[in-house]
């Protein structure tokens, strides 16, 4: 009985360990049918912008700078005035 529990625990732990982890920069989420702008800052106080990634409504991307753990994600619905290009 104990052997079965140990085997089940080991298999369960291995299954959880095999799951991909979310990246540290995944703060917020890009929504479907929206232009998504992720802005990266140098610290938790958002003192200075150090990088940015934009995913446009047509799927093209533009990026520059450095990715950090201090980010803000903004979504603008596609078809809206700010997302038209």
- The ranges assigned to domains in the chain are 23-85
Residue 27's φ and ψ, nearest 5 degrees, are -110, 115
More confident residue, 82 or 29: 29
pTM: 0.59
Residue (of 50, 79, 53) closest to 65 by Cα position: 50
State the pLDDT at residue 64: 97
Q: pLDDT tens, 12-70?
A: 655 444 444 444 444 568 888 899 999 999 999 999 999 999 999 999 999 999 999 99
State the pLDDT at residue 12: 63
Task: Count other C-beta atoms under 10 Å from residue 53's C-beta.
Answer: 19
């Amino acid at each position: 009985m104990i052997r079965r529990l140990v085997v089940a625990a080991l298999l369960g732990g291995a299954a959880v360990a095999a799951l991909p982890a979310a990246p540290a920069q995944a703060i917020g989420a890009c929504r479907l049918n929206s232009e998504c702008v992720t802005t990266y800052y140098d610290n938790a106080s958002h003192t200075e912008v150090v990088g940015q990634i934009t995913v446009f409504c047509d799927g093209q991307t533009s990026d520059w700078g450095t990715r950090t753990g201090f980010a803000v994600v903004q979504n603008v619905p596609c078809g809206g005035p700010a997302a038209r290009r």
